[in-house]
Structure 1
Protein backbone atom coordinates (compact mmCIF):
# COMPACT_ATOMS: atom_id res chain seq x y z
CA UNK A 1 0.00 0.00 0.00
CA UNK A 2 1.22 3.42 -0.81
CA UNK A 3 1.02 5.38 2.55
CA UNK A 4 1.89 8.65 0.90
CA UNK A 5 -1.31 8.60 -1.06
CA UNK A 6 -3.29 8.03 2.11
CA UNK A 7 -1.35 10.55 4.34
CA UNK A 8 -1.54 13.50 1.99
CA UNK A 9 -5.35 13.75 1.99
CA UNK A 10 -5.40 13.44 5.77
CA UNK A 11 -2.86 16.25 6.18
CA UNK A 12 -4.83 18.38 3.78
CA UNK A 13 -8.01 17.88 5.83
CA UNK A 14 -6.22 18.67 9.10
CA UNK A 15 -4.68 21.83 7.63
CA UNK A 16 -8.04 23.08 6.43
CA UNK A 17 -9.57 22.44 9.82
CA UNK A 18 -6.70 24.21 11.60
CA UNK A 19 -7.07 27.22 9.34
CA UNK A 20 -10.77 27.29 10.03
CA UNK A 21 -10.29 27.11 13.76
CA UNK A 22 -7.56 29.72 13.67
CA UNK A 23 -9.76 32.10 11.73
CA UNK A 24 -12.41 32.01 14.46
CA UNK A 25 -10.01 33.15 17.31
CA UNK A 26 -9.84 36.93 18.06
CA UNK A 27 -6.75 38.83 17.01
CA UNK A 28 -5.11 41.92 18.58
CA UNK A 29 -5.14 44.74 16.07
CA UNK A 30 -2.34 47.32 15.72
CA UNK A 31 -4.75 50.05 16.74
CA UNK A 32 -5.64 48.26 19.95
CA UNK A 33 -1.96 48.02 20.90
CA UNK A 34 -1.36 51.69 20.17
CA UNK A 35 -4.44 52.63 22.12
CA UNK A 36 -3.26 50.71 25.18
CA UNK A 37 0.22 52.15 24.81
CA UNK A 38 -1.22 55.68 24.60
CA UNK A 39 -3.31 55.03 27.69
CA UNK A 40 -0.22 53.92 29.60
CA UNK A 41 1.68 57.01 28.41
CA UNK A 42 -1.19 59.25 29.56
CA UNK A 43 -1.25 57.58 33.00
CA UNK A 44 2.52 57.96 33.20
CA UNK A 45 2.28 61.67 32.34
CA UNK A 46 -0.41 62.18 34.98
CA UNK A 47 1.77 60.41 37.54
CA UNK A 48 4.75 62.52 36.51
CA UNK A 49 2.69 65.71 36.89
CA UNK A 50 1.61 64.60 40.36
CA UNK A 51 5.21 63.85 41.29
CA UNK A 52 6.24 67.22 39.85
CA UNK A 53 3.55 69.02 41.89
CA UNK A 54 4.53 67.16 45.05
CA UNK A 55 8.22 67.90 44.41
CA UNK A 56 7.42 71.59 43.82
CA UNK A 57 5.36 71.79 47.01
CA UNK A 58 8.14 70.08 48.94
CA UNK A 59 10.66 72.47 47.40
CA UNK A 60 8.52 75.45 48.41
CA UNK A 61 8.23 74.16 51.96
CA UNK A 62 11.96 73.56 52.05
CA UNK A 63 12.62 77.06 50.71
CA UNK A 64 10.29 78.54 53.33
CA UNK A 65 12.13 76.57 55.99
CA UNK A 66 15.44 77.89 54.71
CA UNK A 67 14.10 81.46 54.80
CA UNK A 68 12.93 80.81 58.36
CA UNK A 69 16.35 79.50 59.30
CA UNK A 70 18.03 82.54 57.71
CA UNK A 71 15.69 84.89 59.58
CA UNK A 72 16.27 83.03 62.84
CA UNK A 73 20.02 83.25 62.25
CA UNK A 74 19.76 87.01 61.68
CA UNK A 75 17.60 87.39 64.79
CA UNK A 76 20.10 85.38 66.81
CA UNK A 77 22.95 87.54 65.49
CA UNK A 78 20.98 90.67 66.38
CA UNK A 79 20.26 89.27 69.84
CA UNK A 80 23.94 88.41 70.20
CA UNK A 81 24.95 91.95 69.24
CA UNK A 82 22.34 93.31 71.62
CA UNK A 83 23.63 91.07 74.39
CA UNK A 84 27.18 92.30 73.77
CA UNK A 85 26.00 95.91 73.97
CA UNK A 86 23.99 95.12 77.10
CA UNK A 87 27.09 93.60 78.71
CA UNK A 88 29.07 96.72 77.81
CA UNK A 89 26.38 98.98 79.27
CA UNK A 90 26.22 96.87 82.42
CA UNK A 91 30.02 97.02 82.76
CA UNK A 92 29.91 100.82 82.46
CA UNK A 93 27.03 101.00 84.93
CA UNK A 94 28.84 98.69 87.36
CA UNK A 95 32.02 100.75 87.08
CA UNK A 96 30.05 103.94 87.73
CA UNK A 97 28.33 102.43 90.77
CA UNK A 98 31.61 101.17 92.19
CA UNK A 99 33.31 104.50 91.59
CA UNK A 100 30.41 106.35 93.17
CA UNK A 101 30.39 103.99 96.13
CA UNK A 102 34.12 104.29 96.52
CA UNK A 103 33.93 108.06 96.31
CA UNK A 104 31.15 108.22 98.86
CA UNK A 105 32.81 105.73 101.18
CA UNK A 106 36.14 107.54 101.06
CA UNK A 107 36.35 109.74 104.13
CA UNK A 108 38.46 112.86 103.64
CA UNK A 109 40.63 114.08 106.49
CA UNK A 110 38.68 116.87 108.15
CA UNK A 111 39.54 117.70 111.74
CA UNK A 112 40.51 120.62 113.91
CA UNK A 113 41.61 121.36 117.44
CA UNK A 114 41.77 124.85 118.86
CA UNK A 115 42.75 126.40 122.17
CA UNK A 116 43.56 130.09 122.34
CA UNK A 117 45.35 129.23 119.10
CA UNK A 118 44.63 126.73 116.38
CA UNK A 119 46.61 123.52 116.86
CA UNK A 120 45.35 121.74 113.74
CA UNK A 121 42.89 122.49 110.95
CA UNK A 122 42.81 119.80 108.24
CA UNK A 123 40.22 120.64 105.63
CA UNK A 124 40.23 124.33 106.62
CA UNK A 125 36.78 124.12 108.19
CA UNK A 126 37.66 126.02 111.37
CA UNK A 127 37.91 129.80 111.41
CA UNK A 128 40.32 130.88 114.16
CA UNK A 129 39.08 134.48 113.99
CA UNK A 130 35.44 133.65 114.79
CA UNK A 131 35.87 130.27 116.52
CA UNK A 132 33.24 128.78 114.17
CA UNK A 133 33.54 125.50 112.30
CA UNK A 134 32.01 125.55 108.79
CA UNK A 135 31.47 122.01 107.45
CA UNK A 136 33.37 121.53 104.13
CA UNK A 137 31.44 118.33 103.32
CA UNK A 138 28.25 116.64 104.50
CA UNK A 139 28.70 113.84 107.01
CA UNK A 140 28.74 112.72 110.63
CA UNK A 141 31.06 114.70 112.92
CA UNK A 142 32.25 114.25 116.48
CA UNK A 143 32.72 117.49 118.45
CA UNK A 144 34.42 117.78 121.84
CA UNK A 145 34.38 120.72 124.26
CA UNK A 146 36.89 120.54 127.13
CA UNK A 147 36.86 123.45 129.60
CA UNK A 148 38.90 124.08 132.74
CA UNK A 149 37.80 126.84 135.12
CA UNK A 150 39.56 128.95 137.72
CA UNK A 151 38.71 128.24 141.40
CA UNK A 152 35.41 129.79 142.46
CA UNK A 153 34.37 130.57 138.85
CA UNK A 154 31.12 129.11 137.51
CA UNK A 155 31.27 128.34 133.79
CA UNK A 156 28.33 127.35 131.51
CA UNK A 157 28.97 126.36 127.89
CA UNK A 158 26.73 125.38 125.00
CA UNK A 159 27.65 123.56 121.82
CA UNK A 160 25.57 125.25 119.12
CA UNK A 161 24.77 124.06 115.60
CA UNK A 162 23.23 126.68 113.32
CA UNK A 163 21.62 128.43 116.29
CA UNK A 164 20.37 125.26 118.03
CA UNK A 165 21.94 124.15 121.31
CA UNK A 166 23.17 120.53 121.10
CA UNK A 167 24.85 120.13 124.51
CA UNK A 168 25.07 122.17 127.69
CA UNK A 169 27.76 121.77 130.34
CA UNK A 170 28.80 123.56 133.48
CA UNK A 171 31.64 123.31 135.97
CA UNK A 172 32.48 124.92 139.27
CA UNK A 173 35.01 124.27 142.01
CA UNK A 174 35.12 126.60 144.97
CA UNK A 175 38.77 126.17 145.84
CA UNK A 176 40.34 123.71 143.39
CA UNK A 177 40.66 123.57 139.62
CA UNK A 178 38.19 121.49 137.64
CA UNK A 179 37.87 120.48 133.98
CA UNK A 180 34.73 119.12 132.29
CA UNK A 181 34.32 117.50 128.87
CA UNK A 182 31.19 117.32 126.74
CA UNK A 183 30.77 115.62 123.35
CA UNK A 184 28.20 115.52 120.56
CA UNK A 185 27.89 113.59 117.33
CA UNK A 186 26.11 115.65 114.68
CA UNK A 187 25.21 115.13 111.06
CA UNK A 188 26.02 118.29 109.15
CA UNK A 189 25.20 119.41 105.66
CA UNK A 190 27.75 121.39 103.68
CA UNK A 191 28.30 124.86 105.20
CA UNK A 192 26.49 123.94 108.40
CA UNK A 193 28.14 125.81 111.31
CA UNK A 194 29.12 124.71 114.84
CA UNK A 195 30.57 126.81 117.66
CA UNK A 196 30.91 127.02 121.47
CA UNK A 197 28.86 129.60 123.31
CA UNK A 198 30.07 130.70 126.77
CA UNK A 199 27.64 131.90 129.44
CA UNK A 200 29.41 133.60 132.38
CA UNK A 201 33.01 133.21 133.39
CA UNK A 202 34.17 132.81 129.83
CA UNK A 203 37.19 134.96 130.46
CA UNK A 204 38.22 132.83 133.45
CA UNK A 205 39.11 129.65 131.53
CA UNK A 206 42.14 127.98 133.06
CA UNK A 207 45.17 127.12 130.99
CA UNK A 208 48.56 126.12 132.34
CA UNK A 209 51.22 123.51 131.83
CA UNK A 210 49.02 120.74 133.25
CA UNK A 211 45.62 121.50 131.77
CA UNK A 212 44.05 123.59 129.00
CA UNK A 213 40.69 124.10 127.39
CA UNK A 214 40.00 123.21 123.78
CA UNK A 215 37.31 122.83 121.11
CA UNK A 216 37.78 120.04 118.52
CA UNK A 217 35.90 118.26 115.74
CA UNK A 218 36.50 115.41 113.30
CA UNK A 219 34.61 113.93 110.36
CA UNK A 220 33.61 110.32 111.12
CA UNK A 221 31.67 109.33 108.02
CA UNK A 222 30.32 111.10 104.98
Structure 2
Protein backbone atom coordinates (compact mmCIF):
# COMPACT_ATOMS: atom_id res chain seq x y z
CA UNK A 1 0.00 0.00 0.00
CA UNK A 2 1.24 3.48 -0.82
CA UNK A 3 0.32 6.43 1.32
CA UNK A 4 1.16 9.90 0.12
CA UNK A 5 3.38 12.09 2.29
CA UNK A 6 0.63 14.60 2.98
CA UNK A 7 -1.80 11.86 4.08
CA UNK A 8 0.86 10.41 6.38
CA UNK A 9 1.50 13.83 7.88
CA UNK A 10 -2.22 14.37 8.46
CA UNK A 11 -2.51 10.98 10.14
CA UNK A 12 0.50 11.72 12.32
CA UNK A 13 -0.81 15.13 13.34
CA UNK A 14 -4.19 13.57 14.07
CA UNK A 15 -2.51 11.09 16.41
CA UNK A 16 -1.19 13.91 18.61
CA UNK A 17 -3.50 14.45 21.57
CA UNK A 18 -5.22 17.79 22.28
CA UNK A 19 -3.20 18.14 25.51
CA UNK A 20 0.07 17.92 23.59
CA UNK A 21 -0.99 20.62 21.12
CA UNK A 22 -2.40 22.95 23.80
CA UNK A 23 0.97 23.01 25.53
CA UNK A 24 2.33 24.50 22.29
CA UNK A 25 5.08 21.92 22.20
CA UNK A 26 5.23 20.61 18.66
CA UNK A 27 5.89 16.89 18.33
CA UNK A 28 9.54 16.02 18.21
CA UNK A 29 11.00 14.08 15.32
CA UNK A 30 11.26 11.03 17.62
CA UNK A 31 7.51 11.34 18.45
CA UNK A 32 6.68 11.52 14.76
CA UNK A 33 8.98 8.60 14.01
CA UNK A 34 7.38 6.50 16.78
CA UNK A 35 3.87 7.28 15.50
CA UNK A 36 4.87 6.51 11.92
CA UNK A 37 6.49 3.24 13.00
CA UNK A 38 3.32 2.22 14.88
CA UNK A 39 1.09 3.03 11.91
CA UNK A 40 3.37 1.13 9.54
CA UNK A 41 3.23 -1.92 11.80
CA UNK A 42 -0.59 -1.68 11.86
CA UNK A 43 -0.76 -1.49 8.07
CA UNK A 44 1.61 -4.45 7.69
CA UNK A 45 -0.55 -6.49 10.09
CA UNK A 46 -3.75 -5.49 8.27
CA UNK A 47 -2.23 -6.51 4.94
CA UNK A 48 -1.13 -9.86 6.42
CA UNK A 49 -4.60 -10.44 7.88
CA UNK A 50 -6.25 -9.71 4.53
CA UNK A 51 -3.83 -12.02 2.71
CA UNK A 52 -4.72 -14.95 4.99
CA UNK A 53 -8.49 -14.64 4.39
CA UNK A 54 -9.42 -17.00 1.61
CA UNK A 55 -12.34 -16.19 -0.69
CA UNK A 56 -15.61 -17.91 0.17
CA UNK A 57 -18.49 -18.38 -2.29
CA UNK A 58 -20.90 -21.15 -3.24
CA UNK A 59 -23.93 -21.80 -5.43
CA UNK A 60 -26.01 -24.94 -5.32
CA UNK A 61 -29.30 -26.38 -6.57
CA UNK A 62 -31.32 -29.39 -5.43
CA UNK A 63 -31.38 -31.57 -8.54
CA UNK A 64 -28.25 -32.97 -10.08
CA UNK A 65 -30.19 -34.34 -13.07
CA UNK A 66 -33.77 -35.15 -14.07
CA UNK A 67 -36.66 -33.92 -11.93
CA UNK A 68 -36.80 -33.80 -8.15
CA UNK A 69 -39.95 -33.38 -6.06
CA UNK A 70 -39.68 -33.13 -2.26
CA UNK A 71 -42.75 -32.96 -0.08
CA UNK A 72 -45.13 -32.37 1.24
CA UNK A 73 -42.96 -32.89 4.33
CA UNK A 74 -44.52 -33.65 7.75
CA UNK A 75 -42.24 -31.22 9.62
CA UNK A 76 -39.66 -28.52 8.86
CA UNK A 77 -36.93 -30.30 6.89
CA UNK A 78 -33.41 -29.10 5.93
CA UNK A 79 -32.82 -29.10 2.18
CA UNK A 80 -29.65 -30.66 0.83
CA UNK A 81 -28.51 -29.05 -2.40
CA UNK A 82 -26.51 -31.65 -4.33
CA UNK A 83 -25.67 -29.85 -7.59
CA UNK A 84 -22.82 -27.54 -6.57
CA UNK A 85 -21.12 -25.81 -9.50
CA UNK A 86 -19.24 -23.42 -7.19
CA UNK A 87 -17.84 -24.08 -3.71
CA UNK A 88 -14.84 -21.78 -3.32
CA UNK A 89 -13.37 -22.28 0.13
CA UNK A 90 -15.38 -25.52 0.66
CA UNK A 91 -17.57 -23.92 3.33
CA UNK A 92 -20.76 -25.51 1.90
CA UNK A 93 -21.19 -29.18 2.87
CA UNK A 94 -22.82 -31.18 0.06
CA UNK A 95 -23.71 -34.01 2.45
CA UNK A 96 -25.61 -31.93 5.02
CA UNK A 97 -26.66 -28.86 2.99
CA UNK A 98 -25.09 -26.61 5.63
CA UNK A 99 -22.78 -23.64 5.08
CA UNK A 100 -20.27 -23.12 7.94
CA UNK A 101 -18.58 -19.72 8.27
CA UNK A 102 -14.79 -20.15 8.11
CA UNK A 103 -14.07 -16.55 9.25
CA UNK A 104 -15.91 -13.83 11.14
CA UNK A 105 -17.44 -11.49 8.60
CA UNK A 106 -20.39 -10.17 6.65
CA UNK A 107 -21.91 -12.78 4.32
CA UNK A 108 -24.67 -12.47 1.75
CA UNK A 109 -27.08 -15.36 1.07
CA UNK A 110 -29.90 -15.90 -1.42
CA UNK A 111 -32.34 -18.76 -1.78
CA UNK A 112 -34.98 -19.52 -4.42
CA UNK A 113 -37.72 -22.12 -4.05
CA UNK A 114 -40.04 -23.47 -6.71
CA UNK A 115 -43.08 -25.69 -6.85
CA UNK A 116 -45.37 -27.09 -9.50
CA UNK A 117 -48.85 -28.55 -9.86
CA UNK A 118 -50.67 -26.28 -7.38
CA UNK A 119 -48.53 -27.30 -4.40
CA UNK A 120 -47.64 -24.45 -2.04
CA UNK A 121 -44.02 -23.92 -1.12
CA UNK A 122 -42.36 -22.22 1.83
CA UNK A 123 -38.83 -22.26 3.19
CA UNK A 124 -36.70 -20.52 5.80
CA UNK A 125 -33.11 -19.36 5.71
CA UNK A 126 -31.74 -20.53 9.06
CA UNK A 127 -28.75 -19.21 11.05
CA UNK A 128 -27.72 -21.87 13.55
CA UNK A 129 -31.22 -22.83 14.77
CA UNK A 130 -33.01 -19.50 14.20
CA UNK A 131 -35.28 -18.84 11.21
CA UNK A 132 -33.96 -15.57 9.77
CA UNK A 133 -35.93 -14.95 6.55
CA UNK A 134 -38.73 -16.80 4.77
CA UNK A 135 -40.00 -17.26 1.24
CA UNK A 136 -43.52 -18.51 0.45
CA UNK A 137 -45.75 -18.98 -2.59
CA UNK A 138 -49.17 -20.51 -3.06
CA UNK A 139 -51.50 -20.32 -6.04
CA UNK A 140 -54.27 -22.47 -7.47
CA UNK A 141 -52.38 -23.70 -10.56
CA UNK A 142 -49.16 -23.81 -12.53
CA UNK A 143 -45.51 -23.28 -11.69
CA UNK A 144 -44.67 -20.96 -8.76
CA UNK A 145 -41.54 -19.53 -7.17
CA UNK A 146 -40.40 -17.32 -4.34
CA UNK A 147 -37.03 -16.04 -3.19
CA UNK A 148 -35.33 -13.99 -0.51
CA UNK A 149 -31.87 -12.82 0.49
CA UNK A 150 -30.05 -11.45 3.50
CA UNK A 151 -26.68 -10.17 4.65
CA UNK A 152 -25.61 -11.62 8.01
CA UNK A 153 -22.74 -11.03 10.40
CA UNK A 154 -21.41 -14.52 11.14
CA UNK A 155 -18.91 -15.73 13.69
CA UNK A 156 -16.48 -18.55 12.92
CA UNK A 157 -18.46 -21.81 12.97
CA UNK A 158 -21.94 -20.30 12.54
CA UNK A 159 -24.18 -22.51 10.39
CA UNK A 160 -26.54 -21.31 7.64
CA UNK A 161 -28.93 -23.55 5.71
CA UNK A 162 -32.39 -23.63 4.11
CA UNK A 163 -35.26 -25.49 5.75
CA UNK A 164 -38.42 -26.51 3.86
CA UNK A 165 -41.51 -25.65 5.94
CA UNK A 166 -43.88 -28.36 7.14
CA UNK A 167 -46.55 -29.36 4.57
CA UNK A 168 -44.58 -27.63 1.79
CA UNK A 169 -43.42 -29.00 -1.52
CA UNK A 170 -40.38 -28.05 -3.58
CA UNK A 171 -39.45 -28.84 -7.18
CA UNK A 172 -36.21 -28.74 -9.15
CA UNK A 173 -34.92 -30.12 -12.44
CA UNK A 174 -32.03 -29.76 -14.89
CA UNK A 175 -32.84 -26.01 -15.15
CA UNK A 176 -31.88 -25.60 -11.46
CA UNK A 177 -34.85 -23.54 -10.21
CA UNK A 178 -34.40 -24.20 -6.49
CA UNK A 179 -31.09 -22.74 -5.39
CA UNK A 180 -29.04 -21.64 -2.38
CA UNK A 181 -26.03 -19.33 -2.76
CA UNK A 182 -23.77 -17.29 -0.53
CA UNK A 183 -20.47 -15.49 -0.34
CA UNK A 184 -18.23 -13.59 2.05
CA UNK A 185 -18.58 -9.86 1.47
CA UNK A 186 -15.70 -8.95 3.78
CA UNK A 187 -14.03 -10.26 6.94
CA UNK A 188 -14.44 -8.36 10.20
Report the TM-score range of the alignment, normalised by the length of the smaller protein. Answer: 0.5 to 0.7
SS in 1 for 2:45: helix
Q: Label 1:115 to 1:150 Cα distance change in 2 as closer, same or farther (>3 A).
A: same
Q: Following the alignment from structure 2 to structure 1, what is the Cα–Cα distance between the partners of residues 117 and 184?
A: 34
Deviation of the 1:108 alpha carbon: 4.0
Aligned residues: 139
Q: Following the alignment from structure 1 to structure 2, what is the Cα–Cα distance between the partners of residues 200 and 150?
A: 17
TM-score (normalised: structure 1): 0.55
Equivalent of residue 213 in structure 1, options 161, 165, 178: 178
SS in 1 for 2:171: coil
Correspondence 1:98 to 2:43: yes
The aligned runs of 1:1-222 (5 Å cut-off) are 89-103=34-48, 108-116=54-62, 117-200=83-166, 204-210=169-175, 212-222=177-187
Q: Following the alignment from structure 2 to structure 1, what is the Cα–Cα distance between the partners of residues 174 and 56?
A: 28
* Greater helix fraction, Structure 1 or Structure 2: 1
Q: Following the alignment from structure 2 to structure 1, what is the Cα–Cα distance between the partners of residues 109 and 43?
A: 31
**Per-residue CA distance 1:116-139 (angstroms, 9 max, x = gap):** 322211111111111011001111
Between structure 1 and structure 2, the one with the greater Rg is 1
Q: Following the alignment from structure 1 to structure 2, what is the Cα–Cα distance between the partners of residues 208 and 176?
A: 16
Q: Following the alignment from structure 2 to structure 1, what is the Cα–Cα distance between the partners of residues 58 and 178?
A: 14
**Per-residue CA distance 1:44-68 (angstroms, 9 max, x = gap):** xxxxxxxxxxxxxxxxxxxxxxxxx
Deviation of the 1:103 alpha carbon: 4.7
Q: Following the alignment from structure 1 to structure 2, what is the Cα–Cα distance between the partners of residues 103 and 216?
A: 28
Q: Label 1:115 to 1:165 Cα distance change in 2 as closer, same or farther (>3 A).
A: same
SS in 1 for 2:38: helix
Deviation of the 1:190 alpha carbon: 0.8
Q: Which runs of 5+ in 1 are unaligned?
A: 1-82
* Greater strand fraction, Structure 1 or Structure 2: 2
- Larger RCO of the pair (alpha carbons < 8 Å, separation 6+): 2
Q: Which runs of 5+ in 2 are unaligned?
A: 1-27, 63-82
Q: What RMSD over aligned residues (CA atoms) do the two structures have, in Å? A: 2.4
Deviation of the 1:208 alpha carbon: 3.2
SS in 2 for 1:151: coil
Q: Following the alignment from structure 1 to structure 2, what is the Cα–Cα distance between the partners of residues 211 and 187?
A: 28
